[in-house]
Structure 1
Amino acid sequence: MKHLLLAAGFAASILAGPALAQSLQTIRVGVTPGPHAQILEAVKPVAAKRGLDLKVVEFSDYVVPNAALDAGELEANSFQHTPYLDNQKADRGFRIEAVGLTVNFPMGVYSKKHKSFDAVPQGGSIAIPNDPTNGGRALLLLQDKGVLKLKPDVGFKPSVADIVENPRRLRFIEVDAAQTPRSLDDVDAAAINTNYLVSAGLSPNDAILKEDPKGPYVNLIAVRSADKDKPWVKELVEAYRSPEVKAFIADKFKGAVIASW
């Protein structure tokens, strides 16, 4: 009888396993490689306790995750800040919106040729991201550090055409944001988003100029507008903003990525 009871219990546990797995709601979350993907992997076990089975889907650029979300190929994404999302919605009509702030990746300027920005020569070449939001962010960083001056009231999306003072006659090379780390072999310096910097094996501590971590560039979780009030959205945001994930960010990234909640 004892063996029969044990066998029955074992069989019940086998049946309960799949049933438990099936009870989790699958949520596909789009991210860019590097820190965003790593953080979402840390979110997964916390989310599972809240009934969510997170599937982390990596994209190599900044455009496709929003297009995929808008098309219903994802339930959420986590890779962008508010100025970028606002620009994408205005340009492409995406019906998506932010539901929770996450982390900040202070942008920096890096160089393989110079140990300080003062060493960049007259007429030196500077690579910046070619999308309006992140390219503008790079130019605003350079203005903040006194390198150049932009037209007044340019907002968060200035372009190279908005430069009104460039005393060092720097040349700006616009490249895809994901390619800015690779451009370091060919330019004097490059403005690089931290997520791409880390995934390329470089250190944020090597920045020769660095953005103030405070500002509008805190990243966020976005979902389709039609989904924003669904129960799983709150569970996803709270799982991300849990003490366990905050501790992971602090331990893993040592200040290169900053929890913003």
Structure 2
Amino acid sequence: MNRISFFSLIISLMVLVSGCGQAATNAGEVKGNTLVIATNPSFNGFPEILEYIQPKLKEQGIDLKIQFVNDIIQPNELVNDKSVDANAFQHIPYMESYNKQHGTQLVAAIKVLAWPSGLYSNRYKNINDIPDGATISIPQDPSNNGRALDFLAQHGFIKLKEGVGLSATKKDIIENKRNFKIVELDQGMSAKSLDDVDLAFILGGYQTAVGLHLKDALLAEDSTSEFIGVITTRADNQNDEKIEKLKTVLHSPDVKKFIETTFEGDIIPVFE
């Protein structure tokens, strides 16, 4: 091999090694600036909000990736096993219930919105018209089951054991003078049960699937409810810089206005 060919080979190898190193660095930079959030495409407000803030986070150097799942178990599994950075679909009591059941340490990193739930009916226009013996459907998952029973107790439909609060189950009903028939359904089926029951406790957001809005509820929660929709992550990730930037963007006046104008009062921002 002549001297010119030898030096050409050395230079080519140096360029190749340098290029590979640069490619690896760039890949690392993209990965380091990517924020993956899992959400459920059902009406909970988060998909629309996340899509709205994607370009805003891009301006902050964050590449937001949205991963859609079709149930309410996978989002927490994905966060816990570090497949995603965070999720956006649940309220705090559901997250706490999940932690208790699965031994996880998920945390509410950012409070974003409230979905006030309420009692709806296709048969009656006034809550005072609900007859004795009426059939009332409520969600069956533990956190929302207790939520519905506590709401019914607060408004005089039933009486619960003292102190059970949001942990109530049907076994905790100690008084049902008007003989209401309380049936438990999957949370997504409550709205679809309206033609089959007298009254349905429908979780906030699900009523829109049947053309109803919060203003159509005969009785409804207010914005002081404990059931706040949050961005959830792992305890070891809650102070990550990307999560902090996400919080800053989400808690902006612009996003607050977006929530208020987009969801017609069915979803309420919980930040100023």
The bucket for the TM-score relative to the shorter chain is: 0.7 to 0.9
Alignment-derived partner of residue 25 in structure 1: 33
TM-score for the superposition, normalised by structure 1: 0.86
In the other structure, the counterpart of 1:6 is: none
Structure 1, unaligned runs of 5 or more: 1-18
1:155-234 map, 5 Å: 155-234=165-244
Give how far 1:24 is off: 7.9
Deviation at 1:36, TM superposition (A): 2.1
Q: 2:107 is matched with which residue?
A: 97
Whole-Å separation in 2 of the counterparts to 1:218 and 1:104: 5
Q: Percent identity?
A: 33
What is the CA-CA distance between 1:154 and the residue it aligns to?
A: 0.5
Q: Distance in 2 between matches of 1:260 and 1:82?
A: 13
Q: 1:65 to 1:23 in 2, by over 3 A?
A: closer
Q: Could you tell me how far 1:135 is from its partner in structure 2?
A: 1.1
CA distance in 1, matches of 2:151, 2:89: 20
How far apart in 1 are the matches of 2:69 and 2:211? 18
* 1:70-116 residue CA offsets vs partner (Å, 9 max, x unmatched): 12232111122221111110111123111111111111111112112
Structure 1 partner of 2:148: 138
* Residue 250 (structure 1) shift: 0.9
- The answer for unaligned runs of 5 or more in structure 2 is 1-25
When the two structures are superposed, what TM-score results if normalisation uses the length of structure 2? 0.83
Quickly say closer, same or farther: Cα 1:112–1:58, change in 2 above 3 A: farther
- Once the two structures are superposed, residues 140-187 of structure 1 have per-residue CA deviations (whole angstroms, 9 ceiling, x without a partner) of 111121221111111322111111111221111111111211111211
Say what the alpha-carbon RMSD is for the aligned residues. Answer: 2.1
Shift of the alpha carbon at 1:23? Answer: 8.1
- Equivalent of residue 148 in structure 1, options 150, 158, 171: 158
Q: How many residue pairs end up in the alignment? A: 243
Distance 2:182 2:39 in 1: 28
Distance in 1 separating the partners of 2:194 and 2:32: 44
2: distance between equivalents of 1:208 and 1:52?
43
- Say if 1:67 and 1:94, in contact at 8 Å, map to a contact too: no
Q: Which residue of 1 aligns with 2:68?
A: 58
Distance 1:255 1:175, change over 3 A: same
Larger Rg, first or second structure (1 or 2): 2
Q: Does 1:38 find its partner at 2:38?
A: no
1:125/1:59 Cα in 2 relative to 1: closer, same or farther (>3 Å)?
A: farther
Q: 1:50 to 1:201 in 2, by over 3 A?
A: farther
Q: Do the aligned partners of 2:115 and 2:228 also contact (CA within 8 Å) in 1?
A: yes
